[in-house]
Amino acid sequence: MTINADRLWARIEALSRITDPDRPWTRRSFSPLFLKGREWLAREFRASGLETSIDAAGNLVGRLAGSDPDLKPIVIGSHSDTVPSGGRYDGILGVIAGLEVAQSLLERGERLRHPLEIYDFLAEEPSEFGLSCIGSRALAGMLSDEMLNLRRPDGMTLMEGLAYVGGDPESLASVRRPSDGTAAYVEVHIEQGRVLEQENIAIGIVTDIVGIHRERITVVGRADHAGATPMPLRADALVGAARIVEMVYDRALALAGGDKPLVATIGKLDVQPNAANAVPGEVEMVLEVRCGDETVTRTFPASLIEEVRPSLAALGLDIRVEPVSHASPTPCAPIVRDAIRAAASSLGLSSRDLPSGAGHDGVFVAQTGPIGMIFVPCRDGRSHAPDELIEPHQAADGARVLFETVRRLDTILG
């Protein structure tokens, strides 16, 4: 085999076990556990022969020099942070598979023409700052001053967070790459869906990554005593929030069909004063919209708010809306998709095209060069949950296809 499957799996398991014991598999970005995982990863990078560093944006980077110093790097990788209670393989697989490819090349005595870079991107998952894909945004030059001033609940700013993980927020310009700064980017990831498993297909070739739009919606009412305030005199912010949640579900359900289905979620709410004997005076929530259609992704929140505003006014409530983040739908490059398809075929592995309903760092890396993604099946399509599961041979298949894809891209790219 071109890669060491046992070593690949042992590393995946070792990193996944660096977790909050009360909430497996949790390793949140900007946390002590995240730093512990990073320390482990950096040691593995260095032991494998990679030139290893933390860049100004807090990305862990391992590098192999190529034979032609004038060529742009081929980049592979993913992320090591997780959502709460979910992430045993999501992200980890891509980072460890990238490391395995680089180490296997060294052990085989093969030197690519292009430099090879392995990335553990910082905070691909939504962080406590309310922002995702922080490290890859910086690579694309899309980490704004406004984003750097975002605060998490304990008051830490994102700028301070970058320094906490070893970055240098004053030197972010050094991370940014031009539109042709990357020869190609390839990532291995679990599908986070059921298509490959149901069709018994080994490899998914991603056609495009959905756009993701997030807005913070705050419903403002008045906090009152729950026993002494008559029902007709209440301005209950949670009642208004409940109407928004229901409307989001109904409107998204109506747009769920077609070639580019929409999904919308309110998965985070903060109720104040959050007491059993108090009428809620304010509710803050985050609306997330995902769709392959850029126009629909952007217009869904505005049309929703316009429709619900009169209903909230009748309840004595006000509403504030502010954008949090936006990532446009991103197509994967034909040249990378073709290389993945040829690699899978050469290994005797079945494959099919399919879109990604989840967001990935590749959305931002695409601003620097062509991208592609390799999906492997996961049991029952489960992800972002404690029972997320893949089999060792599925991880190995993804890494083998990644290895062959990188070799092919090294040959055909200038």
Q: CATH number, domain at 247?
A: 3.30.70.360
Q: Bridge-partner residues for 371, per DSSP? A: 185
Q: Say whether both 219 and 306 belong to one domain.
A: yes
Q: Bridge-partner residues for 209, per DSSP? A: 330, 356
8 Å CB contact between 220 and 320: yes
Q: CATH number, domain at 151?
A: 3.40.630.10
pLDDT digits (tens, 9 = 90+) for 65-104: 999 999 999 999 999 999 999 989 999 999 999 999 999 9
8 Å CB contact between 288 and 213: yes
DSSP assigned state of 86: B
Q: Say whether both 306 and 384 belong to one domain.
A: no
Q: Tell me how far the alpha carbon of residue 170 is from its chain's centroid.
A: 24
Structure tokens at 310: 């009169």
pLDDT of res. 258: 77
Domain that holds residue 253: 211-327
Q: Say whether both 295 and 184 belong to one domain.
A: no
pLDDT of res. 257: 84
pLDDT of res. 7: 98
- CA–CA gap between residue 69 and residue 78 (Å, rounded): 25
Q: Say whether both 147 and 12 belong to one domain.
A: yes
- CA–CA gap between residue 206 and residue 335 (Å, rounded): 12
pLDDT of res. 386: 95
CA dist list (Å): 405 to 105, 291, 322, 347:
13, 28, 41, 11
The DSSP string of 185-249 is EEEEEE-SSSHHHHHT-SEEEEEEE-EEEEEEEEEE---EETTTS-GGG---HHHHHHHHHHHHH
8 Å CB contact between 195 and 204: yes
Number of domains in the chain: 2
Q: Bridge-partner residues for 63, per DSSP? A: 51, 117
**Assessment of whether the complete model's pTM goes beyond 0.75:** yes
8 Å CB contact between 89 and 387: no
Domain boundary among 327, 344, 379: 327
Q: Say whether both 204 and 164 belong to one domain.
A: yes
Q: Say whether both 305 and 223 belong to one domain.
A: yes
Q: Say whether both 205 and 313 belong to one domain.
A: no
- CA–CA gap between residue 174 and residue 168 (Å, rounded): 10
Q: Say whether both 287 and 203 belong to one domain.
A: no
Residue 321 contacts by C-beta under 8 Å, 6 or more apart in sequence? Answer: 215, 216, 217, 218, 301, 305
Q: Say whether both 19 and 86 belong to one domain.
A: yes
Q: Say whether both 274 and 189 belong to one domain.
A: no
pLDDT of res. 87: 86
Domain boundary among 298, 327, 356: 327
Domain boundary among 297, 327, 357: 327
DSSP assigned state of 290: E
Q: Say whether both 94 and 76 belong to one domain.
A: yes
- CA–CA gap between residue 355 and residue 47 (Å, rounded): 36
- Which residues does the chain have with pLDDT short of 70? none
DSSP assigned state of 380: G
